[in-house]
């Protein structure tokens, strides 16, 4: 029997929304998911987006889309502070919600969203698409199988560069109340999520945050030293102030070996007694650390497909609300430690 297609409406028409629309177009032939509607506050933008992605319906108010469009699920890809209220509106109307990263700007908001999805019996997913990248999955599986031995050190290094114009160009960026933070919550979150997905949850951390190269409220540089629950140590470095911007780096070290991933490229895979892999075929042209819009939407396509199948099969999506909350908790702990100069323990009290 052919299963029903899960129909999506999207709130947002920016970079994140275009990634999702592109990902959905890549899986359209599967019959699992289809994007049919969009909401933008501006009529012109809504029409333009609808025409670009061949959508039947466009709206200028998300509640109108939720009420009138024939949709099962809402994708929320707008400024961070609006993730919570719009996701709650959609869930209250019985729609499943797939929300972009960060799922919210506080743990209280994240918890309310998780609660609402349970109360309404709808799925809640978070767009942390790197968890679907084959390279990171390969490392995760090898760690879980113990091939690197006992984990001893994990490092997430995101040394990117954003200009002052980037922050000035949209009023929601660079402010605690609207972006919820800076380099960590917006740029480094994917790599932080991969670090804790692979290494496990932190037990405690100590961090420093600062604003060194932009006129913004939020941090443009941060470092954290972590002790994981499994006893391993960890380091997080995140910045939007490090010119010219370098490839993201994830390093995983166990007692029997190391994996290093730069950008999405496996640079080093060394396990005692096995043949070493040094630098997989280069994907240098991608330069995701400098031009995110050049990154293909393949991982978005995989994540949306998983979410649609979760809706169809009534199971949890791979990156559900609880999983999406984990990187937010780490980032909030770094902000707390950075402000107080004290060690912060997990679970974090909000």
Ligand X SMILES: NC(=O)c1ccc[n+]([C@@H]2O[C@H](COP(=O)([O-])OP(=O)(O)OC[C@H]3O[C@@H](n4cnc5c(N)ncnc54)[C@H](OP(=O)(O)O)[C@@H]3O)[C@@H](O)[C@H]2O)c1
Task: Tell which one of 101, 175, 214, 326 touches ligand X (CB under 6 A).
Answer: 101
Task: Tell which one of 6, 9, 10, 16 touches ligand X (CB under 6 A).
Answer: 16
In the complex with ligand X, which residue's Cβ is closer, 88 or 143? Answer: 88
Residues 218-237 that bind ligand X (CB under 6 A): none
Task: Tell which one of 45, 92, 140, 287 touches ligand X (CB under 6 A).
Answer: 45
Task: Tell which one of 32, 77, 195, 319 touches ligand X (CB under 6 A).
Answer: 77
Task: Tell which one of 6, 71, 78, 319 touches ligand X (CB under 6 A).
Answer: 78
Residue whose structure tokens are 């200028």 = 60
User: Least Å distance between CB 114 and ligand X?
Assistant: 18
Residues 127-146 that bind ligand X (CB under 6 A): 127, 129
Q: Are strands 233-239 and 265-271 parallel, antiparallel or unpaired?
A: unpaired
Coil, helix or strand at residue 207: strand
User: Minimal CA–CA distance to 131: which of 276, 304, 308?
Assistant: 304
Beta partners for residue 223, in sequence order: 208, 237
User: Least Å distance between CB 1 and ligand X?
Assistant: 33
| Burial per residue of 317-334, b for 16 or more beta-carbon CB atoms within 10 angstroms, e otherwise | bbbbbebbbbbbbbbbbb
In the complex with ligand X, which residue's Cβ is closer, 166 or 204? Answer: 166
In the complex with ligand X, which residue's Cβ is closer, 272 or 294? Answer: 294
Residues 159-198 that bind ligand X (CB under 6 A): 170, 172, 186
- Whole-angstrom distance, CA of residue 192 vs CA of residue 67: 36
Q: Do 67 and 2 contact (CB within 8 A), yes or no?
A: no
CB atoms within 10 A of CB 79: 18
DSSP 67: H
User: Least Å distance between CB 135 and ligand X?
Assistant: 16
- Whole-angstrom distance, CA of residue 183 vs CA of residue 211: 10
User: Least Å distance between CB 264 and ligand X?
Assistant: 12
Q: Do 151 and 254 contact (CB within 8 A), yes or no?
A: yes
Task: Work out the widest C-alpha separation in the chain, in whole angstroms.
Answer: 61
User: Least Å distance between CB 211 and ligand X?
Assistant: 19
User: Minimal CA–CA distance to 49: which of 73, 77, 72, 71?
Assistant: 77
User: Least Å distance between CB 292 and ligand X?
Assistant: 6
Residue 337 interacting with ligand X (CB under 6 A): no
User: Least Å distance between CB 102 and ligand X?
Assistant: 7
Hey, what are 72's tokens?
């099962």
Beta partners for residue 96, in sequence order: 73
In the complex with ligand X, which residue's Cβ is closer, 41 or 227? Answer: 41
Residues 267-326 that bind ligand X (CB under 6 A): 292
Total residues in contact with ligand X, by rule CB under 6 A:
24
Residues that bind ligand X (CB under 6 A): 12-17, 19, 40-42, 45, 77-80, 82, 100-101, 127, 129, 170, 172, 186, 292
């Amino acid at each position: 029997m052919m299963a029903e297609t899960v129909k999506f409406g999207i709130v947002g028409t920016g970079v994140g929304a275009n990634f999702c629309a592109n990902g959905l177009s890549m899986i359209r032939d599967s019959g699992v998911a289809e994007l049919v509607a969009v909401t933008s506050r501006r009529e012109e933008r809504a029409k333009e987006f609808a025409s670009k992605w061949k959508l039947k319906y466009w709206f200028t108010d998300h509640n109108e889309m939720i009420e009138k469009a024939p949709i099962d699920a809402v994708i929320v890809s707008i400024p961070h502070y609006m993730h919570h209220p719009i996701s709650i509106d959609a869930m209250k109307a019985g729609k499943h919600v797939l929300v972009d990263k960060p799922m919210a700007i506080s743990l209280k908001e994240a918890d309310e969203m998780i609660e609402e999805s349970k109360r309404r019996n709808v799925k809640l997913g978070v767009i942390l698409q790197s968890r679907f990248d084959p390279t990171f999955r390969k490392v995760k599986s090898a760690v879980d199988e113990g091939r690197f031995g006992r984990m001893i050190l994990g490092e997430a290094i995101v040394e990117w560069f954003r200009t002052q114009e980037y922050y000035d160009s949209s009023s929601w960026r660079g402010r605690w109340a609207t972006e919820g933070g800076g380099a960590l919550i917006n740029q480094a979150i994917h790599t932080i999520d991969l670090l804790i997905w692979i290494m496990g949850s932190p037990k405690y951390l100590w961090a420093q945050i600062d604003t060194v190269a932009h006129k913004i409220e939020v941090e443009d540089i941060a470092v954290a030293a972590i002790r994981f629950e499994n006893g391993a140590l960890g380091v997080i470095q995140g910045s939007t102030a490090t010119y010219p911007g370098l490839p993201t780096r994830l390093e995983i070290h166990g007692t029997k070996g190391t994996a290093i991933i730069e950008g999405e490229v496996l640079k080093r895979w060394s396990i005692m007694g096995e043949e070493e892999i040094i630098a997989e075929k280069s994907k240098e042209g991608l330069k995701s650390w400098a031009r995110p819009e050049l990154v293909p939407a393949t991982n978005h396509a995989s994540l949306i497909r998983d979410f649609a199948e979760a809706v169809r099969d009534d199971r949890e999506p791979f990156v559900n609300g609880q999983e999406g909350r984990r990187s937010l908790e780490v980032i909030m702990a770094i902000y707390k430690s950075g402000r107080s100069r004290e060690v912060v323990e997990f679970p974090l009290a909000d």
